[in-house]
């Protein structure tokens, strides 16, 4: 199943830098999983996802996600964005 994830301004405000379970991307992933009726887990790890446009399963092959995380963790300004990820139901 393809999961659409929206990282919102609220996720950015509530997120914590370098916190795997509480960064804005993790907050958005948990919300998207809950909205899809799936049980989210405490630590959202990129290795649990298959990215639809990539053959490998490297962490965050969507460059926008990795760039966002790197910028957020470095204290640089970031903007809300969206991405898709394939998850097993």
Q: Is this prediction's pTM over 0.85?
A: no
Which pLDDT score is estimated for 59?
54
- 25-34's contacts with Cβ under 8 Å and 24+ in sequence apart are 25/65, 25/68, 25/69, 29/3, 29/5, 29/85, 32/3, 32/4, 32/5, 32/6, 33/3, 33/87
> 10 or 69: whose pLDDT is higher?
10
Q: Which of 75, 57, 77, 69 is nearest to 29 (CA)?
A: 69
pLDDT tens per residue, range 33-55: 889 888 766 445 454 454 444 44
Q: Is the separation of the CB atoms in 79 and 13 below 8 Å? A: no
pLDDT tens per residue, range 59-79: 555 788 988 998 999 999 999
Which pLDDT score is estimated for 40?
66
Which pLDDT score is estimated for 72?
95
Query: Which string of b and e fits 45-57 if b means at least 16 CB within 10 Å?
Result: ebeebebeeeeee
């Amino acid at each position: 199943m393809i999961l659409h994830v929206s990282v919102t301004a609220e996720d950015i405000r509530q997120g914590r830098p370098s916190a795997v379970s509480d960064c804005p991307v993790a907050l958005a992933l948990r919300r998207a999983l809950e909205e899809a009726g799936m049980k989210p887990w405490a630590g959202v790890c990129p290795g649990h996802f298959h990215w639809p446009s990539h053959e490998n399963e490297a962490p965050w092959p969507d460059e926008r996600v990795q760039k966002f995380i790197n910028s957020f963790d470095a204290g640089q300004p970031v903007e809300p964005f969206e991405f898709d990820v394939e998850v097993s139901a």
